[in-house]
Amino acid sequence: MYGALWRVLPGPWWIRTLILLVVAAAIVYALFFYVFPVVAVWITPEEVTVQ
């Protein structure tokens, strides 16, 4: 899978690496600011049973 992704991206290796870093940063941003706040509504810390 990673090899196929690497072959699909355009440009030399340093541009491919830059593209992958930007995509990874965008995914992390979306998770922290859109996905995790929505999921946090369903998680209640009062129900934790660790003693």
Q: SS3 sequence, the chain?
A: CHHHHHHHCCCCHHHHHHHHHHHHHHHHHHHHHHHHHHHHCCCCHHHCCCC
pLDDT at 5: 87
Residues of the chain with pLDDT under 50: none
Q: What is the pLDDT of residue 30?
A: 97
The pLDDT value recorded for residue 29 is 98
Q: Which amino acid is at 22?
A: V
pTM over 0.75? The answer is no
pLDDT at 46: 75
Query: Domain coordinates of the chain in residue numbers?
Result: 2-34
